[in-house]
Structure 1
Amino acid sequence: PKFADFWSQSIDEKQFKVYDGSYEGKPYRYVILRRTLLYPQKTGELTIEPLALNINVEAPTNRRDIFGMRITRPAKITVTAPTRKVNVKALPEDGKPESFTGAVGNFDFEVTASKTKLDAQEALDLTLTAKGNGNLKLFTLPKPKLPSALEVYEPENEQDVRVSLNGMAGSNSARYTIVPQQKGSYPIPPIRFSYFDPATEQYKTLSSDEIVIDVENGPATLATSDKADKIPVEETKQFAYIKSDAKLKSMNQDRFFGSTTFWSLLATPVVLIPLAILFGRKRRAYQNDVKGNRLRKADKLARKYLGDAKKSLGDQTAFYLALEKCLHNYLKARLNIQTSEMSKERISQLLQDRGVTVETTEAFLKLLESCEFARYTPSSSDAMQHDYEQASRVISEIDKQL
């Protein structure tokens, strides 16, 4: 199913296990194919669209064999799950801290510096880490406010997150590289991190300790600019102003007119202008060739994903995933449609409207069905080889007929 308005993470079953259960008062045996972890991104009533599966089964008939056992026959049925509704409550506005950035769960917060004593132009790392259980991939950490004499680079974000049926667990970190520019002592104020705890339905705020960076060797501190997130440091008058107009003259002045450089620059436009005109014409002709560009793009996508599928022969999951990508991207390039519009009826209508024969259209749709069935039923190496050769042939036939 499609999980619109949710962040989702699928958790595949490593081994299918048969369970006994009941549905609408009748006993059934069932297996769990896949579990999906969902985090809502909106409030209100959200809809989980139904899942439809085409399943091959052995259906009983009214005939019996010589031993009195009921004879079965293979059949293909379609089963559909009902639509599910989820009511998502909004986070309370009362008591929401200014430092709240969307974290929901139960977390610990710490700020560490790789070193607190160093020399100017020597680097240190300041690491902010939130650990615990919750939506670790869906919030940002607060930004530290540092003295202007500390040059700060963009942070490196690291997420060590494990996803299970109980949700996300692990850590979300941001590591800042800091390079002091002058000698002095620079305090890093406490950093506040806020999150919403669903167990108590309250906001909680954690604060780090103040960290003092001592720069022992280097130039004295200079005046800093007025920025809201900077702490001013001591101003000293160390350098004189740089003269903007020194009126310097070269000691060795070579003649330019008549030199090799002069004649080279003079001849360059004569050579480059015709080449530029020719190149512009070729480029416009190439850009205006819409049909040719579309064909080239389709062929490139088909070769790429068919090549991936060929390399994955023998690995059912990887092979059919690559083959399905090949077919979908090929349709996007050739028919100019999106994945959400790729119903079987829509694909069949568009192909036949473009002049593709009924036999070729049915062969293409049968390949899509094979990719869908392969998710839930085992497939042999011969079947995968046959589907690969069939895909190559069908794509070639469609190229000829369009």
Structure 2
Amino acid sequence: MRSARHLRAVWFALLAAASPAAAGEVSFSASVDRNVVGLEDRFTLTLTVRAPDLARIEKLALPDVGTLEILSQREQTATTFSFSGGSQDFRRIKNVLIVLKPTREGATTIGRATLRYGGQSYTTEPIAIQVVKNAPRAKSGRRAPAPGMSPFPFDDDFFRSPFDDPFFRSPLDEFLGQQRPIDEKDAFVEAYVSPDVVVQGQQATVTVMVYSRIDARIGETRWPKLDGFYAMDRDVSGARTEQKFIDGERYLYKLHQQKALFPLKAGEIALDPVSVEMVLSASPFSQETRTLKTRPLKLKVLPLPEAGRPADFSEANVGRFTLSAAVDATQVALNQPVTLTLTLRGTGNIHQARVPELPALDKFKRFDPAVDVQVQKSGAEVRGAKTVEYVLVPLATGELVLPEVKFSFFDPVDNRYRTIQTEPITLKVTASANAPPGTETGREVNLLAGTFKPIRFESTLSGYGHPLYRRSFFWPIVAVPPALWLLLVLGGAVSRIARSDSPRGRARQAISRARAHLKQASRHAARGMASEFFSEIKAALLDGIEARLGAPAQGMLLEEIRRSLLSAGADPADADGLVHELENCDFGRFAPASSRGQEMQDSLQRSRRLLQRLTRNAGRSPS
């Protein structure tokens, strides 16, 4: 830990000495790992910026790559020192590595890249690329390093100083904050509505997209109140993460959520922003939770036209539909039911669409229908089917006709009302074997005649004595369970009080507190909260000492704690280890941040072992 602080001080001194040369020259160059590539090959274009302060880069525009295709892009940054002639130079290097793929044979040119730095512009030279069908392979399996990178990235060169490798992560790098702050361009969300002009009842789809150029995890998503809409969630679980370049920067983007909205009234409707909670990380060592919001949206809803509106039209019937009718049998016996199924299919608000009722059927007994709705969950457009099943019992024999059923709706694609209808269905009803004699064709039949007879019965009422609650043994029986429960509760409380006042009880309480402090310390270590971690470790150790000594250890000097532990029969090595760990807690609370990570894990393991041995005879050991 002390060596790390010394190394940090040396680096800081080097930075101070190099600061007079911070105004060094700025260079901007472009290079490729080869100029002749095969049609199926991949190669790398590297843009290199050398400057005293990378934060002063105002804009870096990628070049036009002609017929080449950009597959990926990533960035690297490094710090270099050079000592020459008694002067020092301190620089930053930024490499933009772009992986390219040819799309066709022939010559092509990578254009000029542009850098805007400190109010001045810099450009690279064009690079000629020749694409052939089969390019010869390089003899060496090692690819040329990007400018500013070590030529020995995988070699164990004992004589090479880590200062020669610009991507060597020194304590100074952490001190200077290689972890750049997260800005609003690193991640954002967008929402759009399509179409943005609809008629009342027509579907409008709101899509939420998430974009990020750093590591990100999506958390809770909150939609605004959608008053005035019938809303349906669309399933986008199959959406894939893709990439695109925005202003020369590579972003990963994904379709996050989608809702189908059916407006219930006309007018200009404002949709408030959608909020998406995201956990963002610009480096492996830090993360930040932010709530990103989309821009407000506007939707224009036109009223349904009055001209040509059918009398039986319902405002929920907006979309494109088909209607069919079918029966499960066209020839039935007089006492057998038949099922008529009306099926409405199409795109639109199928849940709210109103299927017309059957007209009056004077020769059928009709029961209430059963309605079932099936809607596809995937896809932006809502489509599905609504089925209505009627059970009909014919009341007469002969050929009975089920009339056509009409359905009127507004078609937003053709912008007009339409009326469709089913075909009439003819049923042939025959007399059943149980029909009354002399039944004539076309005559209504009482199906229940002769089936039921009146119910007749005789009964007498008599008493059975006094009620149970008026008998002498009832209340004593009722009072016994609560009395026993009360005695058990009081006995348990008295027993707990007696145990807590005993030395063994106080030891168990101290051990329990030590376990709680260790668990809390483990959480602080995972979050990198060193000061809180060492405070919890110290509290756990003091509670363990109290469990062994039978007296509070808070306020005792370290030497006094050591003598007391030895007097209580503790092992001398354990007593020395506890004193040393208490000293380490005080030191660790104020140690530099870069030296705390592994030290916290090591301290946690040492403390657990010490407390297990110390409290072995005082009660259950903490874990």
Equivalent residue, structure 2, for 1:56:
279
Query: Structure 2 counterpart of 1:157, which letter?
Result: V
The alpha-carbon distance between structure 1 residues 108 and 20, as it changes in their structure 2 partners (threshold 3 A), is: same
Select which of 231, 246, 271 maps to 2:467. Answer: 271
Q: Contact conserved, 1:144 with 1:191, CA < 8 A, in 2?
A: yes
For 2:234, what is the secondary structure of its paired residue? strand
Q: Contact conserved, 1:48 with 1:84, CA < 8 A, in 2?
A: yes
Pairwise CA distance, 1:272: 8.8
Pairwise CA distance, 1:4: 2.9
Counterpart-to-counterpart distance in 1, 2:227 and 2:458: 71
Q: Which runs of 5+ in 1 are unaligned?
A: 61-70, 223-232, 241-249, 276-402
Equivalent residue, structure 2, for 1:204:
418
Pairwise CA distance, 1:59: 4.1
Counterpart-to-counterpart distance in 1, 2:390 and 2:458: 50
1:373-397 Cα deviation digits (max 9, x unpaired)? xxxxxxxxxxxxxxxxxxxxxxxxx
Equivalent residue, structure 2, for 1:188:
402
Counterpart-to-counterpart distance in 2, 1:181 and 1:272: 57
- Structure 1 residue 124 corresponds to structure 2 residue 334: no
Query: Structure 2 counterpart of 1:19, which letter?
Result: Q
Pairwise CA distance, 1:116: 2.2
1:81-134 Cα deviation digits (max 9, x unpaired)? 122121112212222213323222222211112222211220111111122222
Query: Structure 2 counterpart of 1:194, which letter?
Result: S
Query: Structure 2 counterpart of 1:262, which letter?
Result: S
Equivalent residue, structure 1, for 2:370:
156
Counterpart-to-counterpart distance in 1, 2:280 and 2:447: 86
Pairwise CA distance, 1:187: 2.1
Equivalent residue, structure 2, for 1:44:
267
The alpha-carbon distance between structure 1 residues 253 and 57, as it changes in their structure 2 partners (threshold 3 A), is: closer
Q: Contact conserved, 1:110 with 1:130, CA < 8 A, in 2?
A: yes
The size of the alignment, in residue pairs, is 236
Equivalent residue, structure 1, for 2:548:
none
The alpha-carbon distance between structure 1 residues 148 and 214, as it changes in their structure 2 partners (threshold 3 A), is: same
Q: Contact conserved, 2:376 with 2:384, CA < 8 A, in 1?
A: yes
Tell which structure's C-alpha radius of gyration is larger.
2
The alpha-carbon distance between structure 1 residues 220 and 104, as it changes in their structure 2 partners (threshold 3 A), is: farther
Q: Contact conserved, 1:146 with 1:188, CA < 8 A, in 2?
A: no
Q: Contact conserved, 2:365 with 2:393, CA < 8 A, in 1?
A: yes
Q: How does 1:1-400 map to 2 (within 5 A)?
A: 1-2=223-224, 3-6=226-229, 7-20=231-244, 22=246, 29=251, 30-59=253-282, 73-101=286-314, 102-217=316-431, 218=435, 261-264=461-464, 271=467
Pairwise CA distance, 1:190: 1.4
Larger deviation, residues 177-186 vs 147-156? 177-186
Instruction: Name whichever structure is richer in helix by fraction.
Output: 1
Equivalent residue, structure 2, for 1:354:
none
Query: Structure 1 counterpart of 2:359, which letter?
Result: K
Structure 1 length-normalised TM = 0.50
Q: Contact conserved, 1:13 with 1:35, CA < 8 A, in 2?
A: no
Pairwise CA distance, 1:45: 2.3
Query: Structure 1 counterpart of 2:407, which letter?
Result: F
Pairwise CA distance, 1:202: 0.6
Q: Contact conserved, 2:317 with 2:349, CA < 8 A, in 1?
A: yes
Counterpart-to-counterpart distance in 2, 1:54 and 1:122: 60
The alpha-carbon distance between structure 1 residues 99 and 35, as it changes in their structure 2 partners (threshold 3 A), is: same
For 1:12, what is the secondary structure of its paired residue? coil
Counterpart-to-counterpart distance in 2, 1:13 and 1:150: 48
The alpha-carbon distance between structure 1 residues 116 and 31, as it changes in their structure 2 partners (threshold 3 A), is: closer
Counterpart-to-counterpart distance in 2, 1:220 and 1:193: 43
The higher-RCO structure (CA 8 Å, 6+ apart) is: 1
Structure 2 length-normalised TM = 0.33
The alpha-carbon distance between structure 1 residues 105 and 79, as it changes in their structure 2 partners (threshold 3 A), is: same
For 1:100, what is the secondary structure of its paired residue? coil
Counterpart-to-counterpart distance in 1, 2:447 and 2:279: 84
1:50-73 Cα deviation digits (max 9, x unpaired)? 12233222348xxxxxxxxxx984
Counterpart-to-counterpart distance in 2, 1:26 and 1:100: 53
Counterpart-to-counterpart distance in 2, 1:45 and 1:131: 30
Pairwise CA distance, 1:262: 3.3
The alpha-carbon distance between structure 1 residues 164 and 96, as it changes in their structure 2 partners (threshold 3 A), is: farther
Query: How large is the RMSD of aligned CA atoms in angstroms?
Result: 3.9
The alpha-carbon distance between structure 1 residues 36 and 111, as it changes in their structure 2 partners (threshold 3 A), is: same
Q: Contact conserved, 1:45 with 1:88, CA < 8 A, in 2?
A: yes
Equivalent residue, structure 1, for 2:181:
none
